[in-house]
Structure 1
Amino acid sequence: MSDPSAAECRELPRECWETIFAALDSEADLEPLSAVCKQFRSIADARRTSLSIPNQLTPHLPSLLSRFKSLRSLDLSPFRGDHYSVLLQIARSRLPLLERLDLSNQQHLRLDGLREMASKFGALRVLVLSKIVLLQDNDLMAIAWSFPTLEELDISYPEESPSAGVTDHGVTVLSQKLKRLSRIDVSGNQFVSDDSLIALSENCPSLREIGFRDCSFITTSAIAFLIKNKPDLVSLAVNVIGMTILYVELVDSFHFARGLSSLDFSRSFITDGLLMSVAEANIPLKSLVLSHASGFTFDGISEIVTNHRGIEVLDFQAVTILTDHQMDAICKVLLGLTSINVSLCPKLTNATLYSLTRHCPLLKEIKMVKTNLKKDNANEADIPANSQVRSLNISCNVNLTDRCLEKIVRACPKLQYLDVGYCAEITGDSIMGVLKSCPEIKHLGISHCKNTETLCIDFELPQLEVLRAEGSGLNDQQLAAIGRRCCHLKRLDLPKCLNLSTKGVREVASHCKTLREINLRWCNNVKVDIAVLAWMVFVRPSLRRIVVPCGSILSESQRDFFLQHGRLVCD
């Protein structure tokens, strides 16, 4: 798109431009357009609904909050340090549509900051507080008083403390105040017990989704009480240990369920009896997660899929009992399957992948990380092609060969996401073949694929947006070709690429007009100093984030200078 003048922008009514902007794939596409003219900037700013706030952005936060009036979500999870001043700035801003705040990964919560936020945004709908190091009961009480209209709350996986943490008292007070709560995740809080689960089920009439994974003192009795007391529960994620006398009570409880569409029993020890109870329940099951679960046999799985043929999402990661024959039986039943994860299942081979593409016409996502994909004798004419599959992750298959990869991508010709990282046997020839066979690929992962010397990209790749190539054998010449042929490339991840030098980085920056992020961490032969950075920013205005190699010394004032011009430089 050529740079139109302000007069040219006015040739179309604003409503037409708004419709065009609405068709863009992501908010990242708005930024270059906002530099074209004032009208484009106004439209782009009005469409911006989310903002992530790392430390480097905080000096510019007032102007950004003033500029983006349509923000619905603010993410402070990348921020490190005392976040009071940031919350204060947000509280002083005028964001009438703000409904979601993410404060994950903080050392502790600043209750004074939350109260300031509550004075302006008491109607906040979603609050995410995952992985707070020092989360305690008084934090939950402050949240309950400050944000009484919360609908979704995540307080999962705080840092373990031997002396303090969230207890049943805090969760109970929370449940009594948040009457609109529809979703809560308490996973990983080690001091809560059955009392917390019971309080939430009794006090929160709108509760539909609940997560209590990795809470050691939650028993099957409380889970059974929850299911019986909340027959309209939609999503349940718990760990189940089936070695107690109360286990029978849990098995019987599923007869009371009516609305369960998502069940997550990951890392549980469960029996066929429990799975068969779920199979017999009259529930609209759409998602079943048994990741790293054990204790059952294929008979239990078979009962569920036979009775709930509307299942769309399956996660059987590390369910090591599964075989190709069993997976074929599942595929023939679940014709509406859209996503499956059978990673870390060592008995599964190419036959399972072919079964999936043959029998599941709606399938969009397949994960077979670290399985047993290898050379086979399948006739290419007999390999079914599924044009619905968009995402395929087959990384860490150490026996995957070029020929095997060629057959697999023939089965998925419309791929947009492919990860073959850590597949040591594949070469540049097969990677090149993939790109020719699947021209719609937007995201390619080839991390730690060392045998790339034969990779010769002499054809256009207009769809490729993200290339993850950490520890790969890419060299300067190949990187330059990528820059010339990938006209829409936005992100390059190149950590530990030891065959690259500053020359290759200059080449890709010169030619790749859409590049927004480049990661050069641990690229020991790439020398990036202030002069090289200044040149990169000048020659490639689209760049917004540059991760420099270790040993590149930049002062804080130099980093601030780049940040003031919209470029985040980090190491």
Structure 2
Amino acid sequence: MPPSSSKNSRYHQQWQPHLPDECWESIFKHLTNPHDLESLSLVSRHFLSLSNRLLTHLTVYPHTLPLLPALLRRFTTLTTIKLAPYIKADIDALLSQIASFDLPSLHSLDVSHQDTFPSHGLRQFSQKFPTLKSLNCSHTDPDLVLIAECFPNLEEIDLTDADLQVKALTSGLKKLRKVDLSGIYNFRDSSIFTLCLNCVSLEALVLDDTGSLSEIGIANAIRQRPQLRSLAVRGDNVTLELIDSLVSLKCLTCLDLSHSTISDDALCALADGVLPLRELSLGDCSGYQYSGISCLLRMCNNLQHLDLQDTEFLNDECVIELSLLLANLNVVKLGGNKNLTDLSLFAIMHNCPLITEIRMERTSVGKQKVEEDCLAVNSHVKFLYLACNSCLNDESVKMIASVCPNLEMMDLSCCKRVSKSAVEVLWRCCKIQRMDLACLGHQLSQFQFQVNFEVPTLFMLNLSRLSISNDELSLISKSCYKLKELKLDYCDKITTSGVKQVVKNCKQLRMISLYYCKKVSSDIVSWMVLARPSLRKIIAPRSSRHIVDQRDHFLRHGCFVEWI
């Protein structure tokens, strides 16, 4: 190298800007797909160290067990560990093993859905992590006396469908901030009253399907905790007495009354309380009409999340009028309302400028044509769930795609009149990341799924039960080459050669499901594991002795293979 070039090189190295670790971490946290951290960790040891710090949640599956010590040594900033349901391992020994590692940030543990409650393991676990803040022991038989003894600083506990010693909960865990008591049938009015009285920091309470509690008992209890911010009382008859108690909760921002019976008078009385609600769930509620919900929404100026699923009286006219009251809405759920059509969907997009997620599964979207000059582009919409809309057709889907340029996720599964417009979504929505197209176009004659343009943002695609050919699949793999998750269940035309083409073209593929792909040989599994090192999970087309015998071998390559 000439002297001048060498000098310039040293100059650039000297003045190359150095970003502090905090800046790099901030950049990494903005990655939309957490799997991208794996690629970054391969760039340098510095990036490896930084990416290790950003993994905060770990789920321990059966296939994770051999790798667990290495994972716990690598990811020392974990905040949450979850044991997979019915993991079929010695849970006591597993918790003791976790307790032997240095995890200073760990504050949340999930041992739900286990066959036995790990009393011994939790004792050892508590010696290392006595300041645990959150514990999920739902669907178990928890020893609350032991929990209170081991984790006196516990702030959150999930006891859904658990078999409780009620007294231990109401007297031993006084620092609780959030409690989920869904499905607890031996919880009495006196118990919920004592819980609210003793837990002076309580902010969130979930009472779902608790048949032994009365509305009066719930009303008296929540009056003891006026600082409640979140309350779920599902499946009850919402009386005016309960409403009077709700109105006293001047900090209440989240209210869930799903599956309940509630009158218009009750909703209007709730509106009179002028609560600072940001989230409201009235899904599958009965007993009220449009006058009641409109009265309430007029007073909820800052509502961001609204659930009105399975509401019998709701129609396009109602939704159009209600949408005018919801300028700050981010998420709306309207699934199961058969009287809602395209008019409701486009009214929400037009009148709710901040909307990001719309769920309208099992409605009549596609039934009512909307003129193009009545449409307005909404750049905030990112998630659209339109599954099981029997009226939805290609024309409607194209119109939807034209007004949602920043769409990231679209669910068109079981929309049996939709076909080629799914490709139109991939073409128009340049930020699309996930698409669910399972059972697409089953009422139509064969159509060609031709994706002959690049879709570099797409990382999850569900093509289950589609009659696509190897040629179509090959074209998809070339166009959507950054796919990380691909589901091909029940794709009868796909053969071994078609799957090989996908594995060759999609160099970042992490999961592929081939369940009941009759023309795909199970022998391909070995080839996939070796040919594509990025693969972490394969659902094999069928079970075979070959797969069973090599399962541990696949795990050593970092890939878990299963069959259903």
TM-score by length of 1: 0.91
> Can you list the C-alpha shifts for 1:202-245, whole angstroms capped at 9, x where unaligned?
110000000010111111112211332211110110125338xx
Please state how far the C-alpha of 1:498 moved relative to its aligned partner: 1.5
User: What does 1:491-502 correspond to in 2, within 5 Å?
Assistant: 491-502=485-496
Match of 1:520 among 496, 510, 514: 514
By how many angstroms is 1:36 displaced?
4.3
How far did residue 44 of structure 1 move?
Answer: 2.3
Which residue in 2 is equivalent to 1:460?
Answer: 454
Is 1:24 paired with 2:15? no
- The answer (yes or no) to whether the contact 1:87–1:116 under 8 Å persists in 2 is yes
Larger displacement relative to structure 2 (468-477 or 381-390): 468-477
Q: Which residue of 1 aligns with 2:161?
A: 157
Distance 1:220 1:240 in 2: 11
Which residues of structure 1 form unaligned runs of 5+?
Answer: 1-7, 159-164
For residue 72 of structure 1, report the CA deviation from its aligned partner. Answer: 1.0
* Local SS of the residue matching 2:237: coil
Counterparts of 1:298-447 in structure 2, within 5 Å, are 298-427=290-419, 429-447=420-438
* Structure 2 letter corresponding to 1:77: A
Quote the Cα distance in structure 2 between the aligned partners of 1:25 and 1:423: 27
> Structure 1 residue 48 and structure 2 residue 59: aligned?
no
Q: SS in structure 2 opposite 1:229?
A: coil
**Could you say if the C-alpha distance between residues 48 and 194 of structure 1 is closer, same or farther in structure 2, counting changes exceeding 3 Å?**
same
Indicate which of 534, 542, 545 corresponds to 1:542: 534
What residue is the counterpart of 2:242 in the other structure? 250
Give the RMSD, CA atoms, in angstroms.
Answer: 1.9
**CA shift at 1:513, angstroms?**
1.0
When residues 470 and 78 of structure 1 are mapped into structure 2, their CA distance, relative to the original with a 3 A threshold, is farther
1:75 alignment partner AA: K
Provide, for residues 413-458 of structure 1, a one-character-per-residue CA deviation record: whole Å limited to 9, x for no partner. Answer: 211010000000111x211111112121101010111456321110
Alignment of 1:186 with 2:181, yes or no, is: yes
Contact kept, 8 Å, 1:220 with 1:240, in 2: the verdict is no
State how far apart, in whole Å, the 1-side matches of 2:358 and 2:114 are: 34
- Alignment correspondent of 2:9: none
Return closer, same or farther for 1:303/1:66 CA change in 2, 3 Å cut-off: same
SS in 1 for 2:461: strand
Which residue matches 1:235? 230
Report if aligned partners of 1:240, 1:270 keep a CA contact under 8 Å in 2.
Answer: no
2:134 corresponds to which of 126, 135, 138: 126
Q: Percent identity among equivalent residues?
A: 34
Match of 1:104 in 2: 112
Q: Tell me the amino acid that sits aligned with residue 256 of structure 1.
A: S
Q: How far has the Cα of 1:555 moved from its partner?
A: 5.0
SS of the residue 2:152 aligns to: coil
Letter in 2 for 1:212: L
Question: CA separation of 1:195/1:498 partners in 2, compared to 1, >3 Å: closer, same or farther?
Answer: farther
Q: How many residues align?
A: 543
Deviation, 1:539, is: 2.1
Matched letter for residue 205 of structure 2: I
The within-5 A match list for 1:76-87 is 76-78=83-85, 80-81=87-88, 82-87=90-95
SS at 1:191's partner residue? coil
* Equivalent residue letter for 2:115: Q
C-alpha distance in 2, partners of 1:511/1:363? 36
Local SS of the residue matching 1:263: strand
**Counterparts of 1:393 and 1:294, CA distance in 2:** 24
Aligned-residue offset at 1:31: 2.0
1:242 is aligned with what amino acid? Answer: N
Quote the Cα distance in structure 2 between the aligned partners of 1:13 and 1:127.
41
What is the letter of the counterpart of residue 104 of structure 1?
S
Which residue in the other structure is 1:67 paired with? 74
**Match of 1:54, as an amino acid?**
Y
Query: Shift of residue 180 of structure 1?
Result: 1.8
Q: Distance in 2 between matches of 1:270 and 1:376?
A: 31
Tell me, yes or no, if the aligned pair for 1:180 and 1:204 is still in contact at 8 Å. yes
Q: State the partner residue of 1:161.
A: none
CA deviation after TM superposition for structure 1 residue 556, in Å: 4.4
Secondary structure at the counterpart of residue 352 of structure 1: helix
- Quote the residue 2:20 is aligned against: 15
Q: Cα gap change, 1:374/1:14 in structure 2, threshold over 3 Å: closer, same or farther?
A: closer
Counterpart Cα distance in 2 of 1:41 and 1:226: 50
Moved more, 366-375 or 43-52: 43-52
Distance 1:459 1:555 in 2: 36
Q: CA deviation at 1:480?
A: 1.4
Which residue of structure 1 lines up, in the alignment, with residue 203 of structure 2? 208
Query: 1:537 offset after TM fit, Å?
Result: 2.2
Letter in 1 for 2:107: E
CA–CA distance in structure 1, aligned partners of residues 26 and 220 of structure 2: 50
- Whether the aligned pair in 2 keeps the contact of 1:197 and 1:223 (CA below 8 Å) is yes
Pair 1:414–1:408, CA change in 2 (3 A): same
Which digits, 9 at most, give the CA deviation of each residue in 1:259-282, with x for residues without a partner? 111110111111122211211113
The structure 2 residue matched to 1:218, chosen from 213, 235, 239, is 213
The letter for the 2-side match of 1:48 is: L
Task: Report the Cα distance in structure 2 between the residues aligned to 1:258 and 1:14, rounded to whole angstroms.
Answer: 45
Larger deviation, residues 73-82 vs 515-524 = 73-82
Residue identity opposite 1:235 in structure 2: S
Q: Distance in 2 between matches of 1:240 and 1:544?
A: 41
Deviations 1:324-345, CA, capped at 9 Å, x for gaps: 1111111001111110000001
1:309 Cα deviation after fit:
1.7
Question: Paired residue for 2:3?
Answer: none
Code of the aligned partner of 1:103: V
Matched residues in 2 for 1:232 and 1:190: separation? 26
| Residues 236, 259 of structure 2: 8 Å contact kept | no
- Deviation digits for residues 475-499 of structure 1, max 9, x if unmatched? 2222212211113211112212222
Deviation at 1:171, TM superposition (A): 3.2
Counterpart amino acid of 2:203?
R
Q: Larger deviation: 542-551 or 205-214?
A: 542-551
Corresponding residue for residue 5 of structure 2: none
Structure 2 residue ranges without an equivalent (≥5)? 1-12
Following superposition, which runs of at least 4 residues in structure 1 exceed 4 angstroms of deviation?
Answer: 11-14, 16-20
Residue aligning to 1:4: none
On the 8 A contact 1:490/1:516 being kept in 2, the answer is yes
